[in-house]
């Protein structure tokens, strides 16, 4: 989801709590007996049937059977900038970075029209960060480096989830922009190796890929199992 909102409620007071990839904030306490109209508006707002109002990412849709997800789709842009909808590969677990404040990285595995697996990565960057896709575009054709297929930038910004009275100049607030990158999909992650030879070959190829990046003037600073 893009953000989450909830109410802290006592027998006399209520306050709204908002959380997104830039962190969280809360309103001042409101006396529900002195101002019942605002209280009702808050409850109705958080009960909206519109998923976008509740902070859900409506580009990801699920089909349920007996309360269980059996299929899903994800919508984004293709290389020509046209809207396209890909079926999600339900047999492949997706990667989620379990933290509220930060990049909020989610990697989906989907299938293109030929049935080939593709990787779709969502992440939130600060205004000071260079978009990851600019480096991926420079790395086109490099051996051992993930190849970008398409990009959908500026899907959302956390500053738009706050009203005009919010202190955007606070040193604790950093606006984040959501970007969705579609890339070619490769094999299993390193920790799923089945032999010593396979593990060593994967490490060798990874080193070669990073060396090719370095020769292209790009230094990858997150060399780890779940390196983003």
Asked whether the beta carbons of 200 and 208 are under 8 A apart, the reply is no
- Radius of gyration from C-alpha coordinates of the chain: 21
Q: What is the pLDDT of residue 226?
A: 65
List the helix and strand counts (H, then E) for the chain. Answer: 3, 12
- DSSP3 helix / strand / coil % (the chain, rounded to 5): 20, 35, 45
Q: Name the residue among 182, 186, 156 with its Cα closest to residue 76.
A: 182
Chain Cα centroid distance, residue 223: 20
Q: Where are the domains of the chain?
A: 4-46, 60-189
Rounded Cα–Cα distance for residues 69 and 1 (Å)? 17
Asked whether the beta carbons of 62 and 69 are under 8 A apart, the reply is yes
pLDDT, tens digit, for every residue of 49-65? 999 999 999 999 999 99
Q: What is the pLDDT of residue 130?
A: 93
Kindly tell me if the per-residue pLDDT of 224 is higher than 80: no
DSSP characters over 99-159:
-SSS---EEEEEE-TTS-EEEEEEEEEETTSPPHHHHHHHTTT-TTSPPEEEEEEEEEEGG
Rounded Cα–Cα distance for residues 56 and 164 (Å)? 22
pLDDT, tens digit, for every residue of 136-190? 999 999 998 999 999 999 999 999 999 888 888 888 899 999 999 999 998 888 8
Q: What is the pLDDT of residue 170?
A: 87
Averaged over 75-101, what is the pLDDT? Answer: 91
Asked whether the beta carbons of 74 and 120 are under 8 A apart, the reply is yes
Kindly tell me if the per-residue pLDDT of 203 is higher than 60: yes
Cα 123 to Cα 95, 138, 151, 209, 228, distances in angstroms:
12, 19, 12, 22, 9
Averaged over 36-52, what is the pLDDT? Answer: 95
Kindly tell me if the per-residue pLDDT of 112 is higher than 80: yes
pLDDT, tens digit, for every residue of 151-160? 999 999 999 9
């Amino acid at each position: 989801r893009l953000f989450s909102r909830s109410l802290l409620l006592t027998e006399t007071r209520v306050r709204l709590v908002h959380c997104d990839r830039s962190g969280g904030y809360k309103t001042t306490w409101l006396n529900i007996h002195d101002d019942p109209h605002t209280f009702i508006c808050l409850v109705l707002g958080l009960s909206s049937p519109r998923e976008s109002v509740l902070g859900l990412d409506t580009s990801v849709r699920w089909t349920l059977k007996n309360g269980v997800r059996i299929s899903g789709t994800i919508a984004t842009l293709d290389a020509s900038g046209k809207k396209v909808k890909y079926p999600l590969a339900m047999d492949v677990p997706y990667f989620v970075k379990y933290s509220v404040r930060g990049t909020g990285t989610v990697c989906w595995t989907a299938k293109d029209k030929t049935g080939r697996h593709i990787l779709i990565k969502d992440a939130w960057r600060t205004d000071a960060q260079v978009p990851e896709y600019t480096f991926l575009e420079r790395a086109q054709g490099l051996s051992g480096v993930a190849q970008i297929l398409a990009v959908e930038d500026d899907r959302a910004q956390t500053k738009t989830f706050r009203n005009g009275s919010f202190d955007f100049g606070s040193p604790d607030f950093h606006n984040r922009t959501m970007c969705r990158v579609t890339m070619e999909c490769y094999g299993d992650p390193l920790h799923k190796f089945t032999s010593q030879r396979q593990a060593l070959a994967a490490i060798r190829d990874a080193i070669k890929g990073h060396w090719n990046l370095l020769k292209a003037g790009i230094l990858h600073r997150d060399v780890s199992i779940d390196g983003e």
